[in-house]
Structure 1
Amino acid sequence: MNQAPETAPAGKPRMPLHTRMLIGFIVGLGAGIAANLLVGEAAWLDAVIRYVADPIGQVFLRLLFMLVIPLVFSALVLGVVELGDPQSLGRIGGRTLIWILVVTTAAVTIGMVIVNLFQPGAGIPEDVAATLLASGSERAGQIATQREGVSGIDILLNIIPRNPVQAAADGDLIAVIFFAMMLGIAATILRTPATKTFVGAVEGLYEICLKLIDWVIQLAPYAVAALLFSITARLGLDVLVQLAQFVGTVLAALGLHMFVVLPILLLLFGRMSPLVFFRGAQPALLTAFSTSSSSATLPTSLMVAEENLRVPRPVARFVCTVGSTANMNGTALFEGITVLFLAQFFGVELSLAQQVLVLLMCVLGGIGAAGVPGGSLPVIAMILVMFGIPPEGIGLILGVDRFLDMCRTVVNVCGDLVGSVVIGRHEVAAPAPLPPGD
C-alpha cells in the first residue's frame, strides 16, 4: 500500500508509512512531555494545543468519520453476499457463517474480560480525566448526554432504523450495520441481473473507500504527532504507563485467543494437533505478520490450507476467501479492547448493557472492517463517538497500531485456517458433500 512514487529521485526511496508513524509518535510524545515538564500551565502552550495541534488532529479524525458509513455499509453488504444464503450454499456456507460468529464473539469476549480485569486505562487523576473529557469533541458530549436514561429495550429497538439515511446522518452505526446486513441477505436470495448490478456498484464503492483510506492514512504521521502532543502536554509521563499497559493487554488477549481458544477448537472439532497445524500454517502466519493485511495474505493462505493442512480445495477456497474479508476475530478483539481502554482513560463509565452493545458492534464491525492496514480505525472512531468517548484518544494508539496491526492480522489469518480445517474435516466425513453454490 505504501509504495514510493515513480517520480521519486533515484537513491531516495520513500520512507515506509509505519516508520513515519513511529517518528510522528516519538516527536509528539517527546515534545508533549517536554512541554509539560518545562512550561506546564503556560498560556501560550494552551494556545498551541487549541489552535495548532488539536485542529490538525481533528482534520484526520473528520476524514475517518467521513469514510466510516460508506466503508462499513459496502463491506458488510459484500461480506454477507460472499457468505451467501446457507440454504443455497449447503453445509459449507452455513458452517462458515456459524464459525465466524462463534469465533469472533469468543475473541471480543476475551478482550473485554481482560480489559475489565486489568483496567489498563485507569489511573489518571479524576480532575485530569475530567479536563480531558471536557475538552473532547462537542458531538461526543452531546451523544453522551442523549444516551443517559435510555432503557435496554430502547437500545434493542433502535437497532432497526426507521430511516436508514437518517441513521447514517446521525452516525448510528449499529442501525446502518443492520440495514446493510438486510440488504446483503436480500441480494443473495434474489440473484437477479439488477441485484448483480447493485452488488457491483457496492463493490465499486468499497474499492473507492479503500483507496480513500489509503490516502487518509498517509496523513497519520502528522496526526499522531499532533494528537499525542495535545494529550501528553496535559498528562506528562502518566500517559506512558497507560500506553504500555494497553499494549500488554492487547497482546495478552490476542495470545490467549490464538494459543488457547483456537487450538482447543482445532482439537475438538478439527481433530488435528496444534503443533502440526502451526508447523504447516507458518508461511501464511509470517506473511500476515509482515503485510498486516488478510487480503494480501490470501494467496499464501490458500496454498497453506490445500497443500500443508490438506483441506479439500472447495472448502479451502470458500472459507479462506470469505474469511479474508469477514472473519476478522483479531481485529474485533482489538476494537473492543481499544474502546474500553479509552473509556477508562477518559473516565467514561460504560454500563454492562452498553458494554454488551460494544461487544455486538465489534463482532459486526469485525465483519465490516477492511482487510488492509488501518482498516479498523474508522470503525473504532465511530464507536467512540457513539458512546461519548473523545475520539482524540485514537492518537494514543496510532503510534503502536502498526505493531498491533501485524499481531492481530496473524490472529485473523490463523482463525481462517483453523476454520478451514474444522469445516473441511466435517465435509470429508459427510456422505455427500455439496460444493459451494454461486
Structure 2
Amino acid sequence: MGLMKLKLHWQILIALGLAVVVGFMIGAEGTLLGLNAEGALAFIGQLFLNALKMLIVPLIVSSIVVGVAGIGESDSLGRLGGKTIGYYAMTSTFAIIAGLLMVNIIQPGVVEGSAEEIFGLHQDTAALEADLADKGADDIVAIFLRMIPTNVVEAASQGQMLGLIFFSLLYGFFLTRIPNQYAEAQYNFWNGMFEIMMRITDLVMRFAPIGVFALVAGTVADTGLAAFVPLAAFFLTVVASLGIHFFITLPLLLRFLGGVSPVRHYRAVSPALLTAFSTASSSATLPVTMECVEKNAGVSNKTTSFVLPLGATVNMDGTALYECVAVIFIAQAYGIELSIATQFTVVLLALLTSIGVAGIPAASLVAISIILSAVGLPLEGIGLILAVDRILDMMRTAVNVTSDSAGAVIIAKSEGETGILEDGPAQPQWAATR
C-alpha cells in the first residue's frame, strides 16, 4: 500500500527503473512461467496503448468544440491560432538549429573505414526502398488535403487528426452562431463528453505504471546494448541535441516568455512526459498532457483544448531535430560533405516534413527518406539508424510533449490568464490511489 500512495510520477519512474533491469535480464528469448516474456510484455503494453488511443478521438473533438465555443469571437480565435502556430514554428526551428550545430561539432559519421564495415548497413535494402520509394515531396503537399476530410468518421477511424481538428474548429466556431436554444444543448453535450473523457483518462492512468513497465521492458529486451556500440556517437549526438532543447531552450522560453518557473512546469507535467517516453506517441499521450496542463499547471480549458490537440499533430520539435541530425549523419557516413546551402535545405525540409508526415506510419523514417531524396543521398542510408530508432523515438516524443505543454502555458500567460504554476509547487492530480 505504501507504493500505491506515491505520486504518479514516482510510480512511473520506479516502473521505468524496474523495466530496464527486467528487460536486460530476460532478453529477447526469455521466458516467464513457460511463456515468451517479450510477447507477454508486448500484450500488456499494447493494452495500455489501446486504452490511451481509445480516448483520442472523442477527447480531441469534445475539447476543441468546447474550447472554440468558449473563445467565441472570431478575432479571439484568430489571435490564439496565430500565437499557437508562431510558437510551434519558433520552437521547431530552435530544435533543428540545436541538432545542426551538434552534428557538425561532434561529426558522428566521420569514422575510419567504410560505412558498411563500421556501421553494418542492412543487407535487405530492397524492401526498405520499396516501402519508402513512393514517399516524396507530395507528402508535404498532402498535409493540406488531409486538413479537409471527405468523411469525418473515416478520418477519425484512420487517425487523420488534422482533418478531425479542422472539422472540430469549424463546428465549435459555428456553434456560437446558431440560436441559443440549440447552442446551449450542443454546448452542454460536448462539455459533458469532455468531462467524461477526463474521468476515463483518470482511470486509465491508474494503470500507467504497469503499462509503462511492460512497454519499456519489452523495448529493452528486444534491443539490448549490442546495437548501440557502432552507433554510440550518433546516439549521443541526438541525445545531446534533445537535451539542449529540453533543458535549456524550453526552460528559457518558459521563464522569459511565460514568466513561470520551469521547475514547477516540469513537475506539473511529469506524468505526461514519462507517459510520452514510454509510449513514443504524442497522440496517445494527449489525454494525459491535457489533464496535467489544465489541472496541475492551471491553464484554462479554453487554451488547452485548442493548443494541445494542434500541438500533438503538428508540433514535432524532437522529430524535426532528429531528422536533421540523421540526414547529416548519413551524409558523413558516406563521406559526403554537405554545403551550407544543402544543410539549409535539410533544415527547411526537416521543419516542413515534421508537420507534413503527421499521421503517416513510421513518420520519422518517411520524413528522412524525403530529405535524403531531396539532397541526393542514398536511401539505403536509413538502414544505418534503424537499430537505435526506437529508443530515440521515445526520447524525442518526450521532447515533443514538453514543447506542447510549454506552449500552452506561454500562450495562456500571453492571453492574460492568472494562477498558472503559482502558489507553490503544482500537485499532480493522481497523487495517490483513490
TM-score, normalized by length of structure 2? Answer: 0.58
Superposed displacement of residue 105, structure 1:
2.8
| SS of 1:219 mapped into structure 2 | helix
Q: Aligned AA for 2:214?
A: Y
1-side partners of 2:126 and 2:41: how far apart? Answer: 17
Instruction: Note if contact 1:164-1:176 (Cα within 8 Å) is conserved in structure 2.
Output: yes
Quick one: distance in 2 between partners of 1:282 and 1:26? 31
Q: Is the 8 A contact 1:70 1:206 kept in 2?
A: no
Match of residue 115 from structure 1: 99
Cα 1:247–1:211 change in 2 (3 A) is farther
Query: Within 5 Å, which residues of 2 pair with 1:128-167?
Result: 128=120, 130=122, 144=132, 147=135, 150=138, 152-167=140-155
8 Å contact kept, 1:74–1:203: no
Query: 1:235: how far off?
Result: 0.9
Superposed CA deviations along residues 24-71 of structure 1, whole A, max 9, x for unmatched, are 224535876xxxxxxxxxxxx7899xx947645654674466457644
Deviation at 1:21, TM superposition (A): 0.8
Corresponding residue of 2:88? 104
Other-structure match for 1:359: 355
Asked if the contact 2:68–2:306 (Cα under 8 Å) also holds between the matched residues in 1, the reply is: no
Asked if the contact 2:69–2:173 (Cα under 8 Å) also holds between the matched residues in 1, the reply is yes
| Structure 2 contact 95–245 (Cα < 8 Å) conserved | yes
CA gap of 1:165–1:422, structure 2 versus 1, over 3 A, is closer
> Is 1:288 paired with 2:272?
no
SS state at 2:150 partner: coil
TM alignment of 1:328-343, pairs within 5 A: 328=308, 335-338=316-319, 341=322
Query: Hey, what does 2:222 align to over in structure 1?
Result: 230
Matched, 1:252 2:244: yes
Partner of 1:422: 414
**1:25-174 map, 5 Å:** 25-28=20-23, 52=36, 55=39, 58-59=42-43, 62-63=46-47, 66=50, 70-85=54-69, 88-89=72-73, 94-119=78-103, 123=109, 128=120, 130=122, 144=132, 147=135, 150=138, 152-174=140-162
* Shift of residue 414, structure 1, vs aligned partner: 5.4
On the 8 A contact 1:61/1:391 being kept in 2, the answer is: no
Shift in Å at residue 111 of structure 1? 2.1
Per-residue CA deviations over 1:61-110 (Å, capped at 9, x if unaligned) read: 74466457644323332342343258734765554343333223322332
Flag the 1:296–1:81 CA change in 2: closer, same or farther, 3 A. Answer: same
The answer for unaligned runs of 5 or more in structure 2 is 273-288, 332-344, 370-381, 418-434
Deviation (angstroms), 1:231: 2.1
Cα distance in structure 1, aligned partners of 2:262 and 2:392 = 32
% identical aligned pairs: 14
Partners of 1:257 and 1:90 in 2: how far apart?
A: 32
The corresponding residue for 2:17 is 22
Distance 1:92 1:283 in 2: 30
Separation (CA, whole Å) in 2 of partners of 1:14 and 1:194: 36
Q: Please tell me whether the aligned partners of residues 29 and 228 of structure 1 are also in contact (alpha carbons under 8 angstroms).
A: yes
- TM-score, normalised to structure 1, is 0.57
Give secondary structure in 1 for the equivalent of 2:207: helix
Equivalent pair of 2:149/2:163 in contact (CA under 8 Å):
yes
Matched with 2:212 is 220
Cα displacement (A) at 1:322: 3.5
Q: What displacement does 1:177 show?
A: 3.9
Cα separation, 2, equivalents of 1:132 and 1:215? 39
